[in-house]
Structure 1
Amino acid sequence: MAYTVVWFKRDLRVHDHAPLAHAAAHGPVLCLYVLEPSLWAQPDSALQHYQFLRESLRDLAQQLRSCGARLQLAVGETPEVLARLYALQPFARLVSHEETGNGATYARDLAVARWCRRQGVAWQEWPQHGVVRRLPSREQWHGLWQAHMQAPCLPPPLPASLRSVCLPWRDTWPAPETMGLSDAHDPPQRQRGGRAPGQQVLHDFLHARAAFYRGGISSPLTAPTACSRLSPYLALGCLGMREAVQATQQRQVQLKLQDAQQAAHVRQAFLAQFGQHGGGGDVGVPLRTALMRRVREDGRRYAVNLVIGQRVIAAQRGGAGSETGCELHGLSPDEKGLLFKPHTGFLDSEPSLSAVLCGWHEEPGWPCCHRLS
């Protein structure tokens, strides 16, 4: 029976999985994960990675079962595993994602490529991250990255749609010690593997924690919650990079829309509270008129934006003095006099404050001068 081997590596999901979708369109599939002792003997491997991987594979197995397939586990070096499978149950095609790993995974991929050439097995790989192989010039990278990240994410296979093939033997999950993981420390509060936890972390970051990212990421006290915490899920492919990028872009659009709606709501509430007066198409007239009326009523100092046509003049009331060097577009003489009335116009004025509009303001005898720009 002709079938395709889908080799899972750092792409432990069925969503946006091009090799799986391609193989499923051509017939039965054998979904294979190879646990390689030589990779776990590398100095950059640890028990927590091993346990996170096991949790992620359990999640992947559940995803595949819902699609009608079974995840097959083989323990050994990948070229030897493929050779054993080919001898017992020949196949003509091997598909996988490109992997960006360390020197050991690179050497392993070269060995797999040599074996495929000798046996006449077609091995096809798909990119899934921002790494572009055999790129002749860095000038092309940005365009290729954008094209890949903006392409539509592939949907998962339909329920019970896959025709599954099984390994002709059965391997069990080995104990960490047999894989050379002598360090028995597994951080008790580490993140748990799998697509479902990864989706929850992504949603929590985009809808809550991202608001504190810019400042919180710099402090050891806030960084654990302000950071995205997506790295392990992206590293093992529980979440696809393209999926995360597009989710982030969609959230940015939602936030911009919410900001626009909130600004419109605040403006409407302001006009409803202070009253709307004339002004035709100049939105600054009713706002400015309402502001002046409020100042006359309660005598309080405000930091306000006077909207005059399409120009915004930032004004901080509370100072006194002349209009030298100031641009007071659209203000009536009465409004100018109130804004620059020497402190007596405002109940909460402070001697150290000077009112400045778009330029310098200097007044003899005052302790400071300010520039707003």
Structure 2
Amino acid sequence: MNIVLFNKDLRIADHQPLTDAARAGEVLPLYVFEPSQWEDTPLSERHFHFVVESLEELAREIEGLDGKLFLAIDEMETVLEKMLNHYDSIHLYAHNNSSFMDIVKEWSKQKEQLLFAYGPELENVPGRLLNKRLNSYLNEPLAEVPNKIEVTSNIPDFLFADFKRLQKLRFKGNKIRFGQQGGELKAIETLESFLEGRFENYIKNHQKPLPSSLSSSRLSAYITWGNISARTIYQKTVRKLQACDLGEEKVQLEEFLAKLTTRAKISNLRMQDQQPADVNEIKRDYNEELFRRWLQGRTGIPIIDAAMRSLDKTGWMNFSLRAMVTSFIANTLLLDEHKVSAALAGLYLDYEPVVHDFYIQQQAGMKGKMKIIDPVKVGRQLDPEGAFIRRYIPELGRLTEEYIHEPWLYPAFYQLGYEAPMVDVKKAYKHARLHYQAIKSKGKPGRKKEKEGEAEQLSFDF
């Protein structure tokens, strides 16, 4: 029996495992909800809801090809054992980027069952060869959508196709009311609207909280869950680039392609939790009150609170805001970065473990310089008029630009109904910098102040 294991590839377009399995004969399209993958990780209710939306659309698309999508709730090894007992012999088709592939590879080897794995092999590949291999993959012809999917009538009784059975599953966190919807069609629409015009201010707006929500591609969640393939995005963007007459438009798309390929590289690597010696010397505590106020957008620091409230509502922030909220809690207040990482992962709809860990390690100083950001100063740079703050903090809606970033200076502050700052921002920022510099210098004469890189943009931000 040919079994297509869906996971982070919830689509039918450019899906080589599905295409090849359909050519081989009868197919059983399958998605497995593994309890361990949802209960023992930062994945939350918003991720589950996005996946279910994607699966419901995937089921309709497969039915349009005369097929049927089946579901299972169990650990992958258990599901595979049951499938083998039912069919005696199985052929497995899956993408390499699926979270369960290590288990599937080991199981298929032990049980001597055929596994067809697809996607670029980038792990432990040196730089030049990695670029060459990735570019070769991105330029390969897209896999054709099958004309028909012939589903077997011999279905194990532990599989089901009724999505109502998923309603009993409960996860931590909450659904998003104002965020993106899952599904291949939404992913395609998002890419098309980006290439039709939203990209024109891609670089100009990438740091600005509100404008970036429109001019960024907003494809990150769809890439994470495989509603659209990186190869599809790459090839359509290249065609648009080639059709552009204006040099400025080409610059925008070239920047986007650079970030797309960098993200593809990182998402295929394995992360190691390595800390420079100087960061190891920084004591990171856990303060429940500070942590909760930060997580709930109640720090009393407008740009931080607006960012965290917007993330809770939408599941997305641009990189400049991600860097700032992470730096504030992990580097300025010196709270445990592992708690910070897990909390943010549960909120980001585009949570991709390897990419997320890479980003957290950069911000918290595990890779390169520890970034300590002054939220008031940078808040004024990113949101000078306070439009973003006013949208997400209605308590400050009537404040002028003079006070919007430091409302505690407003003469009638206590009438606003807004939280007082949980720390003295300037003192906390200065203390953190001095603490870090003392560890870095280790008694050596002080160096000239370095540029803080407060608005630095990671190359895989979308």
What pairs up with 1:205-284 in 2 under 5 angstroms?
A: 205-256=194-245
Question: How far apart, CA to CA, are the structure 1 residues paired with 2:58 and 2:76?
Answer: 20
Shift of 1:229: 0.5
* Structure 2 SS opposite 1:192: coil
Q: Is the 8 A contact 2:58 2:184 kept in 1?
A: yes
Change (3 A) 1:42 1:176: farther
Shift of 1:175: 5.0
The answer to whether 1:117 aligns with 2:109 is: yes
Shift of 1:110: 3.0
- Matched to 1:52, the amino acid is F
Question: How far apart, CA to CA, are the structure 2 residues paired with 1:54 and 1:4?
Answer: 24
What residue is the counterpart of 1:367 in the other structure?
Answer: none
Consecutive unaligned residues of structure 2, counting only runs of 5 or more, are 250-462
What residue is the counterpart of 2:149 in the other structure?
Answer: 162
Q: Is the 8 A contact 1:4 1:28 kept in 2?
A: yes
Change (3 A) 1:141 1:214: same
Shift of 1:113: 2.4
What residue is the counterpart of 1:297 in the other structure?
Answer: none
What residue is the counterpart of 2:81 in the other structure?
Answer: 83
* Structure 1 SS opposite 2:24: coil
Q: Is the 8 A contact 2:27 2:149 kept in 1?
A: yes
Identity percentage of aligned residues = 25
* Structure 2 SS opposite 1:31: strand
* Structure 2 SS opposite 1:151: coil
* Structure 2 SS opposite 1:222: helix
What residue is the counterpart of 1:287 in the other structure?
Answer: none
1:43-90 deviations in Å (ceiling 9; x for gaps): 420111100000100111111111121011111111101111211223
Shift of 1:134: 4.4
Change (3 A) 1:162 1:177: closer
Q: Is the 8 A contact 1:4 1:91 kept in 2?
A: no
What pairs up with 1:92-171 in 2 under 5 angstroms?
A: 92-99=90-97, 105=99, 108-127=100-119, 132-135=122-125, 137-158=126-147, 161-165=148-152, 167-169=155-157, 170-171=159-160
Q: Is the 8 A contact 2:83 2:90 kept in 1?
A: no
Task: Give the helix-richer structure, 1 or 2.
Answer: 2
Task: Give the strand-richer structure, 1 or 2.
Answer: 1
Q: Is the 8 A contact 1:47 1:176 kept in 2?
A: no
What pairs up with 1:284-295 in 2 under 5 angstroms?
A: none
Shift of 1:212: 1.2
What residue is the counterpart of 2:172 in the other structure?
Answer: 182
Shift of 1:91: 2.9
1:99-120 deviations in Å (ceiling 9; x for gaps): 16xxxx3xx4333223212321
Question: How far apart, CA to CA, are the structure 1 residues paired with 2:123 and 2:16?
Answer: 17
- Matched to 2:85, the amino acid is A
What residue is the counterpart of 2:58 in the other structure?
Answer: 60
* Structure 2 SS opposite 1:32: strand
Question: How far apart, CA to CA, are the structure 2 residues paired with 1:148 and 1:163?
Answer: 28
Q: Is the 8 A contact 1:53 1:193 kept in 2?
A: yes
The answer to whether 1:29 aligns with 2:21 is: no
Larger radius of gyration: 1
Shift of 1:257: 8.0
Shift of 1:224: 1.0
Change (3 A) 1:111 1:155: closer
Question: How far apart, CA to CA, are the structure 1 residues paired with 2:204 and 2:213?
Answer: 12
Q: What TM-score do the two structures reach when normalised by structure 2?
A: 0.50
* Structure 2 SS opposite 1:54: helix
Structure 1 stretches of 4+ with a deviation exceeding 4 A read 172-177, 257-260
Number of equivalenced pairs: 245
Bigger mean CA offset, 15-24 vs 164-173: 164-173
Question: How far apart, CA to CA, are the structure 1 residues paired with 2:216 and 2:176?
Answer: 19
Consecutive unaligned residues of structure 1, counting only runs of 5 or more, are 261-373
Shift of 1:168: 1.5
Question: How far apart, CA to CA, are the structure 2 residues paired with 1:32 and 1:163?
Answer: 14
Q: Is the 8 A contact 1:92 1:120 kept in 2?
A: no
Q: Is the 8 A contact 2:201 2:215 kept in 1?
A: yes
Q: Is the 8 A contact 1:50 1:176 kept in 2?
A: no
1:96-152 deviations in Å (ceiling 9; x for gaps): 00116xxxx3xx433322321232111120016xx61342x2220111111111111
1:237-259 deviations in Å (ceiling 9; x for gaps): 11111000011111112222899
1:150-174 deviations in Å (ceiling 9; x for gaps): 111122111xx22112531244545
Bigger mean CA offset, 236-245 vs 85-94: 85-94
- Matched to 1:182, the amino acid is K
* Structure 1 SS opposite 2:70: strand
- Matched to 1:194, the amino acid is G
Question: How far apart, CA to CA, are the structure 2 residues paired with 1:6 and 1:247?
Answer: 26
Question: How far apart, CA to CA, are the structure 2 residues paired with 1:16 and 1:223?
Answer: 29
Match of 2:43 among 42, 45, 52: 45
